[in-house]
Structure 1
């Protein structure tokens, strides 16, 4: 894997990968995966990986070099080796709740569309017309078919080519050969997952949780993360930092909270903070401080923050659940998508909702300032690598 492999809160995003992932034989990358990565990754990026030693004991370890957060070539390697292999969170089921619902997205060079056909079956496809490469769908909504805006080629929500314009006289044309290219799709709880490699075996939803979350799936289920809470809203942020900087900040957990998030820290009992590590998941847990009588009780009695490798975060606290998806845009920019979910009993309490979202927004503003400041420091000649802080309680749950 091409991400940092140090089991520490202040480490890089793949803190859970080196010893936890089983070693498997991989087939050569598919043409689709290779094209999605952009091109063959060069030797400089591979040398950056080779220069980092994940076997150094934690007490002596250093962080990955700053080039991991600034080098475009390294991001291409991550897209090929990390994002385009294995299950990735791409949305939530509320976006495709009803027949004919769809939403589109992009990961690296992969344009994709997720949809539910008229019979209620969930599908995912490369969002590219097979005729002249135009994108077919944009945004989200409802459609009974996808029609190319360029030449009018039309596809069903099952991916079949329904109409090809001006093809008379073309020899050996079989429209069955020109359907949309499929992508594997599944759901776990309220989340829609996709995988973009062509070598994944067929899977079903009742086992995808084990593939995606490993042995952490039971813990997350017991803490209400796989329940279908109503979706309240979505907020998106373009942040001037490498996607791993945002993830590092999340994994940093209680280390920076007392210094950067004063209001949040006052609602948590930080002495109770603990971290559990699994194969592909890190779970941070913390008890909440008793709310003052005049305050809203947004955090409940315990907060759980789950990081799912490589870029998905799930936060469950009180009646709320929110998710953060960090999508790389380039080597020094990312888009972070926040989705908020709330217990049905509070859907009519607009004051509670508004105040909770305001409090959450304050934390995001503070974190964005931190992340953008770190990115500038990583690009400075004054920084190369740093020590790893390990003064935390870690409970290793690898099975």
Structure 2
């Protein structure tokens, strides 16, 4: 990055160098504190307490419908679930080269992930320190972030490089007005962010599998979660349902597959379905039916579906890996981002790629119809709580217990 082209900013502040880091940390703390204050409603906490994780699965009832419809409950989730701990936000192909960047949001947090000119992975709140304009949008390559509002310019390391038309300003030090950092790291092919910790002490920008995945880390590492798989495409869906409805659908142990996904069901041996639960991860596995050669090529001999709490799903089958990220938009809408990765040996087989993506698209269309129907039912006065099918819905119950633990803590 050529920083010499930018006007140097003179410091007119009498604050000491030792005081400047405290100013940045204080600002970052205010971000978290504001989220906490917003989500401190007592009704939402009472709603969380209506689910009892101590009741055995065979006797348990599901969370009440308010978990899926109440806007204040979502604010509690954003504070207690999404803005604490590592969250999956993208894949390394999006920031493969210096100057690559992509943006995203989670609740009221706007963020940008980038790789600076030296190849270091960086993440910041995507907010200009002047008058709060968003700095960047979408994805691509930039040598700097220039605010579209008043032209304040930042390096990809977060440093304020240029503040326009500030002659006469007093008590201003550019080192106090860099972008607020977000902790960022990778695991395998995935980019992770941590919004409750702005320290930059992750070694080599890699998070330990045990820290993110617990004791499931080794299993997933052996299940073909491969950084070398090229990214094929991304598809995004806006679904008229609470984000947990989509997750519940994923976690029902294949319960809905024979009723909703006829084509998919014909390629799987559903009687072989098994579910494993770990600290923050559940894994569902199923053998393929191997009815036709094209199914063998597409599905392989066994499919593995891993759910990483709270909202990230990794699916590995045959030569394919795809991921699903369920991002809440409001209490009754979510965005689900699908990323597809494929074994390099099949990159030239466009017919196979098109056929596989068409099959996947059909499953998504069927799931969207299911999820939106469930959301309408949850909003009906006829529904309060439901029951679990103990032989198949273990992962769903596990998910709800993890949510309860976070929301009650």
- TM-score normalised over the length of structure 2: 0.87
**Hey, what does 1:379 align to over in structure 2?**
379
Deviation at 1:199, TM superposition (A): 7.2
Q: Secondary structure at the match of 2:329?
A: strand
Q: Secondary structure at the match of 2:136?
A: coil
For residues 49-198 of structure 1, the aligned pairs below 5 Å read: 49-198=48-197
Deviation at 1:33, TM superposition (A): 1.8
For residues 317-396 of structure 1, the aligned pairs below 5 Å read: 317-392=317-392
Provide the rounded CA distance (Å) in 2 between the counterparts of 1:141 and 1:207. Answer: 25
Provide the rounded CA distance (Å) in 2 between the counterparts of 1:114 and 1:52. Answer: 36
Specify whether residues 92 and 38 from structure 1 end up closer, same or farther in structure 2 by C-alpha distance, changes over 3 A only.
farther
Are 1:37 and 1:109, in contact at CA under 8 Å, matched by a contact in 2?
no
Provide the rounded CA distance (Å) in 2 between the counterparts of 1:198 and 1:393. Answer: 34
Provide the rounded CA distance (Å) in 2 between the counterparts of 1:278 and 1:316. Answer: 18
Are 1:188 and 1:226, in contact at CA under 8 Å, matched by a contact in 2?
no
Specify whether residues 265 and 279 from structure 1 end up closer, same or farther in structure 2 by C-alpha distance, changes over 3 A only.
same
CA RMSD of aligned residues (A): 1.8
Structure 2 gaps, min length 5: 1-27, 399-409
**Hey, what does 2:43 align to over in structure 1?**
44
Moved more, 271-280 or 30-39: 30-39
Provide the rounded CA distance (Å) in 1 between the counterparts of 2:304 and 2:361. Answer: 18
For residues 279-294 of structure 1, the aligned pairs below 5 Å read: 279-293=279-293
Deviation at 1:178, TM superposition (A): 0.3
Which structure's CA Rg is the greater one?
Answer: 2
Provide the rounded CA distance (Å) in 1 between the counterparts of 2:284 and 2:334. Answer: 23
Q: Secondary structure at the match of 2:103?
A: strand
Provide the rounded CA distance (Å) in 1 between the counterparts of 2:351 and 2:296. Answer: 10
For residues 267-306 of structure 1, the aligned pairs below 5 Å read: 267-293=267-293, 297-306=297-306
Moved more, 225-234 or 29-38: 29-38
Provide the rounded CA distance (Å) in 1 between the counterparts of 2:352 and 2:294. Answer: 12
Are 1:34 and 1:40, in contact at CA under 8 Å, matched by a contact in 2?
no
Structure 1 gaps, min length 5: 1-28
